[in-house]
Structures are given as structure tokens and as C-alpha cells.
Amino acid sequence: MLNSQDEFFKALMEIIKTKPAHEWPLSGGFACPPDFVCAMGHTGLGKSFKPSILYLKKIFVWSPEVLFDLHSPKDKMILCPNCNRHEDVRRNGWIDEPRQVVLEDDIGYAVCRRYDCNTCKIDFNGFTPGVLMQLPFVVSEYFPFIMTHKSGILKSLVRDLEDQSLNGVGMAGFRKSLMQKHLDKFHRSEMLYYATLKSLITLCEEGSPLVWNTVLRNAINAKNQFGSFGDPSRYNGFVPSESYFTKVWTEYFYERKVMKTESGVWVSRETMYHLANQQINGNILSGDASHKVLHYCF
């Protein structure tokens, strides 16, 4: 992570580690960066000019046992994915390095708990498929990502990918539309930066030279340094490749087990749709070329 992002992460984790869960500064599980417009108001401009706020990414905090406390009081600790028992499972801090995740218009990061199983002498984290699969529906629905080996992507984006695939839009088309959303956010941030810089210069011209000249000089030095979309030391924008989306789609649709049949066998989404097709009246499905009825069913 970048320095400013690293500072944001460390400050967040300090709160997470020292305060009870109900005091964590999260909205929908995400810690959001400070608002640039509010931070750079006239008072803020006089003290510093920090375009780095515009580079910061959201961080998702995943601590499933907190949600277990709310929804499954009798099973407060998650099960070890190896021995399937919770008696000897203990919390063991947090993962050291957050995972990068793909959001609607930017990348973000996700951090989760680590656990030890004293029976199996293993440790595992909250992103482990064996943990995610055991969660009650209400908790698993709260978790917003499909996790891959080193990163993750919003479930809502994978559902968009599913819609677009079923409607004949390939991975290239999906990536292009996602890139457009990410670039829109980048350009809005860039414009906000230069508009604020212009306001700062105007204020400097109207204010005390002794106070404002230093600020102005720093700001002008910073001019033209907002950086490009992919500049790893600044905005650090990123949209995964077509092959990444193909891999996610293959795992999501064909490989990941999502439903237990009456015979106790876990099946993929592909098989689930096939079984549903056999059970739902053909009249209902006629004309539903986009499979939306099935989407509503599952």
C-alpha cells in the first residue's frame, strides 16, 4: 500500500484493536476516507493542502464472529474449516496485509480476523472459503466480495458480469464499462484537486503574504502532480484484466458450490440453475431469456 493509504490503514486498525465493535468507524462494513471537500474548506486550506486524501481507498473490515454474536448467540465462534469444531478456535489478531478488492468505481482493501485451532494446530483467516461457506445466510449476504487467491471483487459486480455474459457482452465489454466507471471517479477527483488549488491561489492572493506564500508555494509545487490513473505512488487506479474476470466467472458459475440438494450434495450455480429449470413451470420461464426469474429465485 501507499504511505498515505498505509497511514489510513494503521489509524483504522488502532481503533479496531482498541475499541468495541459497536464503536468502529464503519458504514456497511467499510471505513471511508475523510471527505476532501470538508477537509479542504477555508480552515483546512490555511493549514495544509493534501491531495493525498483523494488517493485514499475504502477499507472493508471483516470480523464474522461479531455478526455471529448478533445472529447466532449459541455459536459465537466460527468453526475450524479443518475439524469443523469451534471449541478450540481462538482469535489471533488480524491479517497483516489487507487484500486489494475491486469496487464499482475504484479499488479498495479488505482486512479480516485470523484464527487458531488448537486441535488441528493450524491458523486460518476470515476470507477462507471454508469459513465463508459455513456462515448463516444473513451473515454471508453481508459479506460483499467473491474472494480470489490474492484479491477480491464485489458480488454485485460479479452479478453484473453474469447479466452481461448471459446477454452476450463478453469479458472485454464488461472490463471496458468498468474501466469507464473507474476513470470517471479518477477524473472527478482530479478536477476537484485543481478546482481546490485554484481556490487556494485566490485565497493566497487576497490574504497575508507572510502566511499564505508558504502554502501557495507548496501548492504550486504540487501542481501537475496529481498523477495519472495508474500512478502507484499517487492515485493507484487499477482495473483487472479480462483473464481475471474470466477466472472469477468460471469459479463463480461453474466451480463454487452454492446450494445443498435434498440428497446432501453441494452443487455449483450452473447445476443449481439447471435443477431449477427442471422444477419451474415452463410457462413461467418462457420469454425469460435473461434468466431473471432464476435470479429472483436464488
Where on the chain is the footprint of Zn ion (CB under 5 A)?
80, 82-83, 117, 119-120
As measured in angstroms, the least distance from the Cβ of 187 to Zn ion is: 49
Residue 151: all three cell numbers together: 484479491
Residue 91: all three cell numbers together: 482469535
CB nearer to Zn ion: give 31 or 78.
78
CB nearer to Zn ion: give 117 or 178.
117
CB nearer to Zn ion: give 119 or 167.
119
As measured in angstroms, the least distance from the Cβ of 291 to Zn ion is: 39
The values of phi and psi at residue 173, to 5°, are -65, -40
As measured in angstroms, the least distance from the Cβ of 120 to Zn ion is: 3
CB nearer to Zn ion: give 117 or 272.
117
Other Cβ atoms within 10 Å of 100 Cβ, number: 18
Name the DSSP class of 41. S
Do 75 and 68 form a contact (C-beta atoms < 8 A)?
yes
Q: How far apart are CA 281 and CA 265, in angstroms?
A: 24
As measured in angstroms, the least distance from the Cβ of 83 to Zn ion is: 3
CB nearer to Zn ion: give 79 or 216.
79
CB nearer to Zn ion: give 125 or 151.
125
As measured in angstroms, the least distance from the Cβ of 79 to Zn ion is: 8
As measured in angstroms, the least distance from the Cβ of 148 to Zn ion is: 24
145-147 and 151-154 strand pairing: antiparallel
151-154 and 99-102 strand pairing: parallel
As measured in angstroms, the least distance from the Cβ of 80 to Zn ion is: 3
CB nearer to Zn ion: give 120 or 154.
120
Q: How far apart are CA 4 and CA 51, in angstroms?
A: 10
Q: CA nearest 32: which of 59, 63, 61?
A: 59
Q: How far apart are CA 8 and CA 233, in angstroms?
A: 15
Do 185 and 229 form a contact (C-beta atoms < 8 A)?
no
Name the DSSP class of 92. E
